[in-house]
Amino acid sequence: MIYYQTIKDLSNALQSGSLMPSGLMAAFIKRTKETEPALHSFICYDEADAMKQAEAADLRWKSGKNLSPYDGIPIGIKDIISVRNQPMTCGSRMLENYISPYDATVITKLRAAGMVIWGRLNMDEFAMGSSTETSAFGTTQNPWNLEYVPGGSSGGSAAAVAAGQACVALGTDTGGSIRQPAAFCGIVGLKPTYGRVSRYGVTAFASSLDQVGPIGRSVEDVAAVLSIIGGRDSHDSTSVDVPVEDYVHASTREKPWRVGILSEFMEGDGLDGDVSAAIQRVVQFYESQGCPIQPVSLPKVNAGLAAYYIIATAEAFSNLARFDGIRYGHRSKAATDVASVYAKSRAEGFGEEVKRRIILGAFVLSGGFHDAYYTRAQKVRSLIRSEYMRALDDVDIILSPATPTAAFHETEKCEDPLSMYLSDVYTVTVNMAGLPAISIPCGFDRNHMPIGAQLIGRPFGEGDLLAAAQFYEKYHDFHRQHPPL
Ligand code: GLN
């Protein structure tokens, strides 16, 4: 099936002339139309615009002026990333009628490589959630079993890639939103180092944690996209001027990776037995290949989730202040004066989870509580980072499960925010430390739902991280299995 081919296969076919971008785009549109009623991965898509981009790529290939080996390959975009003249809702009623006036830097870079910008993928409202159920525009189903959630907040991106509606997609990850849905949908998701990818044109959730990254069906595919989108951008002062490697090439490096097993995440109440067993098999694989394995203990990660929900809500409280019915967003028709424009517009525009975060953020920053919560959480954050950095002196890669369980049933955790938050317990500390991490498919649980392994690397060590992941992938075929859809 053409829609399940990797970027590399598609690129080879484009180069040989056996495939044209418009034919490829037509195949993805057809696949999307067939599967979208069951999945609802997209908030919307503009078929004509995608075909127009693909036809322009046809002409470039025909004249031998392709912009890159990936010219004409479609990439799905999470609905939090600005694409000029397209709607951007961030999964919220607040932005229901918003049209982006400019391209995010990542979009500019993808266009420069000729990639076709394809659709607006569903997500939890303002990226707050772990199941895509907080989207104001309906839930997305997991392609492996429609009764299960695809994860979140980049659930639409993960479901679309897993189901062959797009070759690759962009997501964002503040506490796990690329890795957790990739794990739940049986595909690969990479959260780059904080500062590796520009966030200009990406709606901010928690600015000290947010990062854009690729979701794909193979390690090589996410490597290819990272090479395109990475790099310093003068529009985003948090992006860092570290050279962007050719990550596709880097991912073929082989060496006896020293692998640390993150002890705190290999035990404990919440960890499902099938997930634990699958990760043990990943450990055995690296060991059997001659990789030195050692346990690493990072005791402070146990305080990570609590600290994350203080820092992330504090930053969200501040970032979301701009959605007030005046500067941005929905304006209430019932408002009668300035104060009621703010109050009513925000009451009507935001969903329940977003309101919960705003209230929590206001609380942890308020006079008298600031030191007790916010300042302490920042201290925990720097301890966590130090622990990771010390561990990464002795090992090249730290391994853990990506999530404590495989995908859960829809509505199962909707009434219980804490249990929803716990599904990111293994991913959030990586954002707090600013490190790169990848989730790769490594098995299935008793319900035949996919399981993900998380590999964590050194700052700007994406090359080694991808290589260690690709080394595993080369000897396994989980990434070649597709949902029965
Ligand atoms: N699920 C986590 C949260 O709700 C992480 C979200 C994210 O990474 N955007 O905050």
Tens-place pLDDT, residues 109-140:
999 999 999 999 999 999 999 999 999 999 99
User: Domain residue spans in the chain?
Assistant: 2-260+394-480, 302-377
Specify the range with the lowest mean pLDDT, choosing from 204-218, 295-309, 410-424, 457-471: 410-424
pLDDT band for 267, please (50, 70, 90 cuts): confident
For residue 122 and ligand 1, the question of a CB distance below 6 A is answered with no
**Mean pLDDT on 212-231:** 98
CATH homologous superfamily for 2-260+394-480? Amidase signature (AS) domain (3.90.1300.10)
pLDDT at 466: 98
- Is the pLDDT assigned to residue 268 strictly greater than 90? no
Instruction: Give the model confidence (pLDDT) of 425-476 as tens digits.
Output: 999 999 999 999 999 999 999 999 999 999 999 999 999 999 999 999 999 9
- Is the pLDDT assigned to residue 305 strictly greater than 90? yes
Ligand 1: atom nearest CA of 172 is: 9
For residue 361 and ligand 1, the question of a CB distance below 6 A is answered with no
Instruction: Please tell me the distance between residue 419's alpha carbon and the centre of ligand 1 in angstroms.
Output: 13
> What percentage of the chain carries pLDDT values higher than 70?
100
pLDDT band for 324, please (50, 70, 90 cuts): very high
Active site residue ranges: 78, 153, 177
Instruction: Please tell me the distance between residue 336's alpha carbon and the centre of ligand 1 in angstroms.
Output: 35
Instruction: Please tell me the distance between residue 322's alpha carbon and the centre of ligand 1 in angstroms.
Output: 20
Considering only CA atoms, which residue is closest to atom 10 of ligand 1?
128
The mean pLDDT value of the chain amounts to: 97
pLDDT band for 367, please (50, 70, 90 cuts): confident
pLDDT at 373: 95
- Is the pLDDT assigned to residue 154 strictly greater than 90? yes
For residue 427 and ligand 1, the question of a CB distance below 6 A is answered with no
Choose which residue among 191, 355, 428 to substitute to test ligand 1 binding: the one with the highest number of ligand atoms within 8 A of its C-beta: 428
pLDDT at 269: 80
**Mean pLDDT on 174-183:** 98
**Mean pLDDT on 254-268:** 94
Task: State the pTM of this model.
Answer: 0.98
85, 100 Cβ separation under 8 angstroms: yes
Instruction: Please tell me the distance between residue 125's alpha carbon and the centre of ligand 1 in angstroms.
Output: 10
- Is the pLDDT assigned to residue 243 strictly greater than 90? yes
For residue 354 and ligand 1, the question of a CB distance below 6 A is answered with no
For residue 176 and ligand 1, the question of a CB distance below 6 A is answered with yes
Instruction: Please tell me the distance between residue 70's alpha carbon and the centre of ligand 1 in angstroms.
Output: 30
- Is the pLDDT assigned to residue 52 strictly greater than 90? yes
For residue 57 and ligand 1, the question of a CB distance below 6 A is answered with no
Considering only CA atoms, which residue is closest to atom 5 of ligand 1?
175
pLDDT band for 382, please (50, 70, 90 cuts): very high
